[in-house]
Amino acid sequence: MEAVLELTKDNIQDVVDASMKQVVVLAFWSQQSPESVALSQTLTGMAHKQAGRFVLAKVDCDKEMEIANYFQIQNVPTTLVLSEGKPVDGFAGLQEEVQIAAMLDKHLPAQWQIQLNEAKNLLALQDAAPALALLKQAYAESPNAEVTLVFADACLMLDDFDSAAELLASIGLADQDSYYQSLKAKLALALDAADSPEIRELQKAVESEPENIAQLLLLAKALHQAKRNEEALAILFTPLSKDISVENGEVKQLFLEILTALGQGNTLANQYRRKLYSLLY
């Protein structure tokens, strides 16, 4: 249903039915009342800004007197909050946006819940990239276990194993349910698949010759290709912390390339970017 609509006798039943699943705000107004016109504009702006949290159904009392009479509206502007087919709250007269928001927040789902639900729908369609963007916003607002698990799921779909591992490690024992266990299993399988014979051979070579920077670069590249970026950055940072221009700057160059590939919003990239800045300045 649209975020804002005009309530009429033709669609009132659809709107009442919609209130069984989503809060509907009924705004009774009249062109004859400047206050009600102003409030209608405020509510319209809020509905568009908070799209998905509630539906605004505007009732033009000059045209829809029957609806106004049904809801026993005495004066305009009057605003009612409709939930499960019944008015549960409301106010008469003009109010500021802050006051209206405080009243609505008592009845509306939090923004992070809406973002989480949208992300779940996208993940069900295997559309992980836009889901990840929503989950980052939801996680910033409320990093609870429910959001964290879905966030980790999206990271796994996008082969970001480091972020998925970090998110799963933050889940407390009480929240380690069947969903958590399935994600842990997916991560373990993904990491096993990324542990190729080539990487194991390079790891042995680096362990036996830790000062061989050429071998270390090969290992870092292989780890990066296998999406094991945290390991790649860690082994590159060790020689960088001793000499920022080691191997004619090749180590620093690869380090920066991996950070760029991870992107500006990546937590791991930001962490190692700060470490690099501490060496430079």
Give the confidence band of 2 by pLDDT, cuts at 50, 70, 90.
confident
Q: Among 87, 83, 78, which Cα is nearest to 39's? A: 78
Q: What is the pTM of this model?
A: 0.63
Residue 75 per-residue DSSP state: S
DSSP SS3 for 108: coil
Q: Specify the CATH number for the domain of residue 76.
A: 3.40.30.10
Residue where a domain stops, chosen among 162, 194, 226: 194
Domain shared by 126 and 175, yes or no:
yes
Domain shared by 46 and 58, yes or no:
yes
Q: Name the domain count of the chain.
A: 3
Range with the poorest average pLDDT among 40-44, 197-201, 263-267: 263-267
Residue where a domain stops, chosen among 85, 105, 125: 105
**pLDDT digits over 121-174, tens only?**
999 999 999 999 999 999 999 999 999 999 999 999 998 888 999 999 999 999
**pLDDT digits over 90-118, tens only?**
999 999 999 999 999 999 888 899 899 99
Beta carbons of 180 and 149 less than 8 angstroms apart: yes
Domain shared by 151 and 171, yes or no:
yes
